[in-house]
Amino acid sequence: MEVHHHSHHPKKWNEYVSEFLMLFFAVFLGFMSEYYLEYKAERHKEHDYLVSMVEDLKADTTEISMKASQMDEMVASGNKVTEIIYKTNWTEKDIDTIYLKSIYMVTRFVNLNFTSGTIDQLKNAGGFRLIQNKLIVDRITDYEKQKTALKNQLDALMERWASVHRVQNSLLHLNVFKPNGQLGGIDYDRKMLNQIKTLTGSEFLISNRNSFYEYSNYINVSKGYVTFYKMMALVEKQKATELIAIIEKEINH
């Protein structure tokens, strides 16, 4: 039996080069495809973070505007109380105003409640690395620093208003107030105060004017803290407004 042997000719060098290039480009294209998909996924996440951040910032500006208005009303109430305290004689209307404006000062909600869902995700999930625009990252960081300063000012403010409340409790008959079911809503019972006056001879727990002057001093100090808190809040609102514009420009780019 005759056995035929197949001869294998050695490959030419250009065939080796061709196979190498084909293998190289196959691996390279696979790598590039995976990189592109990862890049697209990260850009999608970045977009979602930025859109969510804008929503949070808009909520913050609304919150600041609302609370700034209440701060103005609180300061105005304090001004009215201190103005009456230094009058020589108090009319029944003046006394009613002292009661109503005093309770208004300590039942307003001025603490800013920032929306922090997106910023928490950026911090906890390492999302900051996805934001390519360094200016946006810097502005967000600056915005967060201002929140810390606001928190410190609020703590100092609340400490001063606690003193106002303490002195107030030593002067006013607080049982003439009743909640009316609305948030921060209080009804004032003038009839009950008249009954108290008939029993005690005065609409107040203390008739000594010096105690009211002390009350006025505490109010004036506290008003300063509220005013500065409002100024800081408005600065934060401006930062938020500018950051919204920068982010929206980036989103629409």
| Nearest residue to 80 (alpha-carbon basis) of 229, 216, 247 | 216
Does the structure show a pLDDT above 90 at 182? no
Residue 173 lies in a domain: yes
Q: How confident is the model at residue 253 (pLDDT cuts 50, 70, 90)?
A: confident
Residue 219's pLDDT is 96
9 located within any domain: no
Count, residues in the chain: 253
Whether residue 98 lies inside any domain: the answer is yes
Q: 180 or 157: which carries more pLDDT confidence?
A: 157
| pLDDT for the residue numbered 19 | 65
Residues of the domain holding 125? 14-251
Residue 114 in domain: yes
- 122 versus 67: the higher-pLDDT residue is 67
Report whether 237 contacts 69 (CB < 8 A). Answer: no
Confidence of residue 208 (pLDDT cuts 50, 70, 90): very high
Q: What whole-number distance in Å separates Cα of residue 238 and Cα of residue 227?
A: 17
By percentage, how much of the chain surpasses pLDDT 90? Answer: 66
Q: How far apart are CA 52 and CA 42, in angstroms?
A: 15
According to DSSP, the residues that pair with 179 across neighbouring strands are: 186
Is the separation of the CB atoms in 187 and 178 below 8 Å? yes
Phi, psi (deg, nearest 5) at residue 246: -65, -45
In a domain, 100, yes or no: yes
Residue 5 domain-assigned (yes or no): no
Q: What is the pLDDT of residue 149?
A: 95
Residue 14's pLDDT is 67
Summary mean pLDDT of the chain: 87
Residue 136, domain member (yes or no): yes
Q: What is the pLDDT of residue 235?
A: 97
* Averaged pLDDT, 121-133: 85
Residue 71's closest CA among 231, 251, 238? 231
Residues 8-51 have pLDDT tens digits of 556 665 665 666 667 666 665 566 556 555 656 677 888 888 99
In the 3-class helix/strand/coil scheme, how is the chain assigned residue by residue? CCCCCCCCCCCCHHHHHHHHHHHHHHHHHHHHHHHHHHHHHHHHHHHHHHHHHHHHHHHHHHHHHHHHHHHHHHHHHHHHHHHHHCCCCCCHHHHHHHHHHHHHHHCCCCCCCCCCHHHHHHHHCCHHHHCCCHHHHHHHHHHHHHHHHHHHHHHHHHHHHHHHHHHHHHHCCHHHEEECCCCCCEEECHHHHHHHHHHHCCCCCCCCHHHHHHHHHHHHHHHHHHHHHHHHHHHHHHHHHHHHHHHHHHHCC
pLDDT at 5 over 70: no
User: Minimum mean pLDDT among 72-86, 117-131, 196-210, 217-231: which range?
Assistant: 117-131
Q: How many domains does the chain have?
A: 1
Residue 139 maps to a domain: yes
pLDDT tops 90 at residue 181 = no
Q: What is the pLDDT of residues 159-174, one digit of tens each?
A: 998 999 999 999 999 9
pTM here is: 0.82
